[in-house]
């Protein structure tokens, strides 16, 4: 490599600049190539964007329906709790006003009712474990056993 520095205060001979590739980068005029999108690619991108927009709109719609359902469920639960509370209060009032001794007295004295005797009680098995028995035929007369 040639000496680039000149000692002293004057230049004795002007040297031609050294074109060393380490120091200089020569820019060659490059051909700029413009990229054109084909019609098919443009249609594909447009379709993809439309599908994405439709999916987003559908998702937002579902979210809105879910929010509406949650609010409706909360409202129905509130109504159910209110009805349960009113039902419990009415049941307690009815039981509080019920005097079983008075009911027994009225049934025996005014309506002539009496307790069932030993021969009047007939026991049936429900067969299927249900809580009640359905009568599908007349009850047979008791033979006193």
In angstroms, the CA 138 to CA 145 distance is 19
* Buried b / exposed e along 70-90 (16+ C-beta atoms within 10 A): eeeeeeeeeeeeeeeeeeeee
What the block records as the tokens of 131 is 């809580």
H or E element: which one contains 33? none
Contact 101/124 with Cβ under 8 angstroms? Answer: no
Alpha-carbon distance of 74 to 64, in angstroms, equals 15
In angstroms, the CA 71 to CA 131 distance is: 38
Closest CA to 119 of 145, 85, 87: 145
- Coil/strand/helix, residue 115: coil
Q: Six-digit token pair at 107?
A: 């049934």
What are the Cα distances from residue 4, in Å, to 7, 14, 22, 118? 10, 11, 14, 136
Give the pTM: 0.41
pLDDT in tens, the chain (145 residues): 556 665 666 666 666 665 555 655 556 666 666 667 789 999 999 999 999 999 999 999 999 999 999 999 999 999 999 999 999 999 988 888 778 888 899 999 999 999 888 888 877 666 666 566 677 788 777 665 4
DSSP characters over 30-72: P--------HHHHHHHHHHHHHHHHHHHHHHHHHHHHHHHHHH
């Amino acid at each position: 490599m040639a000496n680039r520095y000149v000692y002293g205060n004057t230049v004795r001979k002007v040297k031609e600049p050294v074109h060393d590739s380490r120091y200089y980068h020569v820019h060659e005029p490059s051909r700029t190539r413009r990229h054109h999108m084909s019609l098919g690619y443009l249609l594909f991108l447009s379709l993809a964007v439309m599908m994405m927009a439709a999916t987003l709109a559908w998702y937002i719609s579902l979210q809105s329906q879910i929010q509406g359902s949650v609010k409706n469920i909360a409202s129905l639960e509130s109504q159910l709790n209110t009805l349960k509370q009113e039902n419990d209060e009415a049941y307690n009032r009815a039981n509080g006003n019920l005097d079983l001794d008075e009911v027994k007295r009225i049934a025996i004295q005014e309506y002539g009712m009496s307790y069932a005797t030993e021969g009047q009680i007939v026991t049936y098995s429900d067969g299927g474990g249900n809580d009640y028995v359905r009568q599908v035929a007349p009850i047979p007369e008791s033979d006193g056993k």
